[in-house]
């Protein structure tokens, strides 16, 4: 056996051992039951699990009311604290920066606490669960799925304007049909989210909430997005996309006057760094408070 073959087998053995180790650990996890969710968590994270359950139940009330649909059965939420645990549940290591992911067909949400605002992540991912159950992933346009998830989670921030503005001015917008096709490219992923929300916001501004709700109803009946758009909005998706792009050019034309692309990139990077550090600090403070409360609670019981 040559050196390359030995190295390959060593990698396979290590990966298998790592997966088996995670499997053994997750078999010891505990459960916390709510009215609409079951939280699965490792021992010692009771306080965090309890807070996640409260956030999830609050998200249920908001999302189901906004979308007008109540999915059957409880949604399982798994708290994965490492990349290995995350990849064990979703079978994918290509996006280690993920804060959470929804598997609508299995009615499962996997969260990675510490990677983002956990309350927003829960609401974002639960929107995917409801939309997936309501319409079905095969007939659900990505821009609508992600745009609604961002809308429900209130995730639009100032730096999204810079991402979208730069892409508009440099004529590098991603076609709606090609969004989220580059998971290894974080910039294009950010742009995909920004475009999704912007397109949803454009439809809301032009046709109102009733237009979006009617569009969702037609999709849930089995219509394609093009057919549903023609029926509800009076134009096909190609026309609607061109109108949206013209709207973006008008909206972001001022950026070309007051800034250059280089400055825009620098400013956007600064906003990204500041926002990330601020959210990380807030989240760590919240987690620390929960752990301290959990410690006090245990000491009282002992």
**What CATH number has the domain spanning 26-140?**
3.40.30.160
Q: Where in the chain is the domain with CATH 3.40.30.160?
A: 26-140
For every residue of the chain, DSSP letters joined together read: --HHHHHHHHHHHHHHHHHHHHHHHHTT-EEEE-SSEEEEE-TT-HHHHHHHHHHHHHHHHHHHHHHT---SSPEEEEE--SHHHHHHHHS--S-TT-SEEEEGGGTEEEE-TTSS-HHHHHHHHHHHHHHHHHH-GGG--HHHHHHHHHHHHT---HHHHHHHHHHHHTT-PPPGGGTT--TT-HHHHHHHHHHHHHHHHHHHHHHHHHHHHHHHHHHHTT--HHHHHHHHHSS-HHHHHHHHHHHHHHHTHHHHHH--HHHHHHHHHHHHHHHHHHHHHHHHHHHHHHHHHHHHHHHHH-
> pLDDT per residue over 132-164, tens digit each?
999 987 889 999 999 999 999 998 888 788 889
What pLDDT does residue 255 have?
56
pLDDT in tens, 113-135: 877 789 999 999 999 999 999 99
Give the tens place of pLDDT for each residue, 42-79. Answer: 998 999 999 999 999 999 999 999 898 999 899 999 99
> Mean pLDDT: which of 18-22, 89-93, 116-120 is highest?
116-120
pTM for the complete prediction? 0.75
Instruction: Give the model's pLDDT for residue 48.
Output: 93
């Amino acid at each position: 056996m040559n050196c390359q073959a030995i190295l390959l087998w060593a990698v396979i053995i290590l990966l298998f051992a790592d997966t088996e180790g995670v499997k053994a650990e997750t078999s010891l996890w505990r459960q916390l039951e709510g009215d609409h969710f079951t939280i699965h968590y490792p021992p010692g994270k009771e306080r965090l699990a309890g807070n996640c359950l409260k956030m999830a139940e609050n998200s249920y009330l908001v999302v189901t009311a906004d979308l007008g649909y109540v999915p059957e059965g409880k949604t399982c939420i798994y708290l994965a604290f490492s990349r290995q645990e995350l990849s064990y549940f979703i079978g994918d290591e290509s996006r280690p920066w993920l804060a959470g992911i929804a598997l609508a067909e299995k009615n499962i949400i996997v969260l990675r606490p510490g990677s983002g605002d956990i309350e927003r992540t829960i609401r974002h991912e639960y929107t995917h669960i409801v939309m997936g159950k309501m319409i079905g992933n095969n007939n659900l346009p990505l821009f609508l799925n992600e745009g609604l998830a961002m809308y429900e989670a209130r995730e639009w921030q100032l730096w999204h304007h810079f991402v979208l503005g730069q892409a508009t001015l440099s004529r590098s917008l991603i076609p709606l049909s090609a969004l989220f096709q580059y998971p290894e490219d974080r910039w294009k992923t950010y742009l995909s989210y920004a475009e999704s929300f912007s397109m949803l916001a454009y439809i809301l501004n032009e046709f109102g909430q009733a237009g979006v709700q009617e569009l969702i109803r037609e999709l849930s009946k089995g219509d394609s997005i093009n057919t549903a758009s023609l029926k509800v909005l009076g134009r096909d998706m190609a026309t609607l996309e061109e109108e949206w792009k013209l709207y973006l050019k008008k909206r972001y034309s001022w950026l070309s006057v007051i800034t250059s692309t280089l400055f825009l990139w620098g400013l956007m990077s600064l906003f990204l760094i500041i926002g990330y550090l601020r959210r990380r600090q807030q989240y760590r403070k919240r987690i620390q408070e929960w752990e301290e409360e959990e410690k006090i609670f245990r000491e009282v019981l002992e």
